Amino acid sequence: MKFNTKTIHGGQHDTDPAFESVMPPIYQTSTYKQSTPGGHKGFEYSRSGNPTRAALERSLASIENGKFGLGFGSGLAAIDAVLKLFKSGDEIISTNDLYGGSYRLFTKIFQDFGIKFRFVSMENAGEVEQYINENTKMIWVETPTNPMMNIIDIEAMSRVAKKYNLLLAVDNTFATAYLQRPLELGADIVMHSATKYLGGHSDVVLGSLVVNDQKLAERLYFIQKASGAVPGPQDCFLVLRGIKTLHLRMQRHCENGEAVARFLKDHPKVDKVYWPGFEDHPNHEVVKKQMSGFGGMVSLTTAEGTLESAVSFVEKLKVFTLAESLGGVESLAGHPATMTHASIPKEEREKTGIVDSLIRLSVGIEDEEDLLNDLKQALE
């Protein structure tokens, strides 16, 4: 099956043996009748398994070209489950430019449980080797990074991970399986905030993991069940519905993202524009190798370079909505320093480029001209 068919049909056979409904039913039930203790039809309690969630988990595995999918109550709950694979004394090497909530989970929760995190620049995979020691267990990659749009070479990183017998996990939220499939490039775990492009309509919070290795899958299923951060069936249904149009939406996100990035680059009121499609992006060659398009996320700094100029710009936008999150059909603007990345200390933030004048745009699928006119009036 090709990708554009998998989004609609992947793993979606026999979801309703009773009535053959075309869409999987929302099995809004916490429990299932047993004929005798342990005698059930595959589901016993909805924390350990629910047919709507199972349909979503098969769909997620299918589009990532992986074997096992797992759904969670949020993207962070999915990351939380990955971190529970480890124990006190273990070390994890993470990219130094990543979603602020992931950084907060690493440093404010799991660090206190004795797991050590090293945040490093990953533009050159070879440089990561110097941080590996006998306690290192995993490399955590986000690419493109949120919000600086840095690109990490997944294949090169997987060679490093394999050399030292480490797990490689990739947060694929910004690209989605439509543009980039980390498991095919050698990653062991692919993670998503399905809240974003997979759901696609800003109406659900959900997270996911997909893996190929059976033992790893079994351990993650155990964590999912034992810790219990599972998504409800209604939310699983919404993400399943979102995935059916992922390929169409991503095409338009990419087109509009490119139009916005090129428009901003030429605008005198804009200083820097971060978008992986620019020929002079520092890792453009890797982008072309591992992604089939450039996505709908664009960051910029104002020419004035002040907090006030960034705030004034986002307040003037009319078609773009000032809001946290990304990946929905509607365009959003965010101010990372005070919103999504406020939990990262200012000195750390600024080292990676998250300055006060930085604005992040999630370019939606509206009419291109309306989006450009909106940016123009807000800048001028």
Residues involved in catalysis: 47, 99, 171, 196
Sign, CA dihedral 65-138-71-323, equals negative
What are 371's two structure tokens? 């989006």
Give the three-state DSSP class for 274. Answer: strand
Contact map string, positions 335 to 364, toward ligand P1T, x by CB under 6 A: -----x------------------------
Residue 121 C-beta: closest distance to ligand P1T, Å: 17
Find the binding residues for ligand P1T in span 184-223 (CB under 6 A): 193, 195, 205, 207
Nearer to ligand P1T, 196 or 247 (CB): 196
Residue 172 C-beta: closest distance to ligand P1T, Å: 9
**# residues contacting ligand P1T (CB under 6 A):** 19
Residue 179 C-beta: closest distance to ligand P1T, Å: 14
Find the binding residues for ligand P1T in span 306-325 (CB under 6 A): 324-325
Token pair 């169409």 is found at 248
- 271: which DSSP letter? E
In terms of Cα–Cα distance, which of 183, 197, 194, 189 is closest to 168? Answer: 189
144: contact with ligand P1T by CB under 6 A: no
Nearer to ligand P1T, 98 or 379 (CB): 98
Sign, CA dihedral 91-92-97-98, equals negative
Alpha helices in the chain (DSSP H): 3-9, 51-63, 75-83, 100-105, 154-163, 176-179, 214-227, 233-243, 246-265, 284-290, 307-316, 346-351, 368-379
Residue 19 C-beta: closest distance to ligand P1T, Å: 32
Q: Which residues of 330-369 are buried (b: 16+ CB within 10 A; e: fewer)?
A: ebbbbbbbebbbeebeeeebeebbbbbbbbbbbbbbbebe
Q: Helix, strand, coil shares of the chain as percentages rounded to 5?
A: 40, 15, 45
173, 224, 290, 299: residue in contact with ligand P1T (rule CB under 6 A) = 173
80, 142, 188, 374: residue in contact with ligand P1T (rule CB under 6 A) = 142
Token pair 């989605």 is found at 176
**Residue with the shortest CB distance to ligand P1T:** 75
Token pair 């965010």 is found at 334
101: contact with ligand P1T by CB under 6 A: yes
97, 171, 258, 374: residue in contact with ligand P1T (rule CB under 6 A) = 171
Q: Please say whether the beta carbons of 341 and 147 come within 8 A.
A: yes
Nearer to ligand P1T, 15 or 140 (CB): 140
76: contact with ligand P1T by CB under 6 A: yes
102: contact with ligand P1T by CB under 6 A: yes
The contact set with ligand P1T (CB under 6 A) reads 74-76, 99, 101-102, 142, 146, 171, 173, 193, 195, 205, 207, 324-326, 334, 340
